[in-house]
């Protein structure tokens, strides 16, 4: 007899599992949820911007470089953010280890990112010798206090030939050849 009651109970439980569940009646009210959402930013241009030129035998830098600019669209941050510009000086692609007096293979410049924060983020490279180096110069971060989606324009200006101490930048002649510089943008949440 005991065996039959277990079978009957098993059938009842099996059938109960196939019945639709009854939804609880909805509750209305104000509920407090505590937590912290981390901010995030998207910068579609992740590779460094490349500034390049060829210096002719005259040693004169192309004046059109002062008009070089890049437009980067699709930046977005879901919170306040900071934008920073870093750059390496414009330098001969295959640098020499020594130079004659009044020669240079390095050019300092200013890179500026505008359109994101209330003031432009910028950096000026600061090489102090004609040989130059691969130093990455970082500018001060500029803050955007609110979430934002937008476009920035990166431009370059103020090209000055780097010379050895005691030399005049106006008299230094650049070595002819291919030159390049890198400009790096960093966009981070400030929350």
Question: What are the residue ranges spanned by the domains of the chain?
Answer: 39-189
CA distances to 16, 18, 20, 30 from 8, rounded to whole Å, are: 12, 16, 21, 46
Residue 40 and residue 147: Cα distance in Å, rounded? 10
- Distance of alpha carbon 86 from alpha carbon 142, whole angstroms: 12
pLDDT digits (tens, 9 = 90+) for 62-109: 999 988 999 999 999 999 999 999 999 999 999 999 998 889 999 999
pLDDT in tens, the chain (191 residues): 444 444 444 444 444 555 555 666 777 878 787 767 788 998 887 789 999 999 999 999 999 998 899 999 999 999 999 999 999 999 999 999 999 888 999 999 999 999 999 999 999 999 999 999 999 999 999 999 999 999 999 999 999 999 876 555 556 899 999 999 999 999 999 86
pLDDT at 12: 45
Q: How high is the pLDDT of residue 4?
A: 46
The span from the first CA to the last CA of the chain, in angstroms, equals 70
Exposed e or buried b per residue across 150-179, where buried means at least 16 C-beta atoms within 10 angstroms of its C-beta: eebebbbeebbbbbeeebeeeebbbbeeeb
Q: Is 81 exposed, middle or buried (0-12, 13-18, 19+ CB in 10 A)?
A: buried
pLDDT at 166: 55
Element containing residue 58 per DSSP (H, E): none
Architecture per CATH, 39-189: Sandwich (2.60)
What pLDDT does residue 28 have? 80
pTM of the model: 0.78
Instruction: Tell me the Ramachandran region of residue 102: left when phi exceeds 0, alpha when psi lies from -120 to 50, beta otherwise.
Output: left
Q: What are the C-alpha distances in Å from 10 to residues 1, 18, 21, 177?
A: 15, 13, 19, 89
């Amino acid at each position: 007899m005991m065996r039959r009651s277990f079978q009957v109970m098993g059938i009842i439980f099996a059938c109960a599992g196939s019945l639709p569940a009854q939804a609880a009646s909805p509750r209305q009210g104000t509920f407090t949820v505590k937590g912290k959402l981390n901010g995030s930013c998207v910068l579609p241009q992740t590779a460094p911007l490349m500034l390049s030129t060829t210096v002719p035998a005259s040693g004169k830098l192309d004046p059109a470089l002062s008009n070089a600019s890049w437009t980067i669209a699709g930046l977005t941050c879901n919170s306040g953010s900071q934008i920073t510009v870093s750059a390496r000086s414009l330098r001969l692609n295959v640098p020499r280890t020594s130079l004659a007096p009044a020669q240079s293979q390095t050019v300092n410049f200013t890179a500026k990112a505008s359109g994101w924060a209330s003031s432009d983020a910028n950096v000026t490279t600061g090489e102090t010798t004609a040989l130059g180096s691969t130093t990455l110069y970082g500018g001060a971060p500029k803050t955007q206090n609110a979430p934002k989606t937008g476009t920035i324009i990166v431009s370059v200006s103020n090209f000055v030939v780097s010379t050895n101490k005691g030399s005049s930048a106006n008299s230094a002649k650049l070595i002819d050849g291919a030159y390049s510089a890198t400009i790096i943008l960093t966009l981070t949440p400030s929350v």
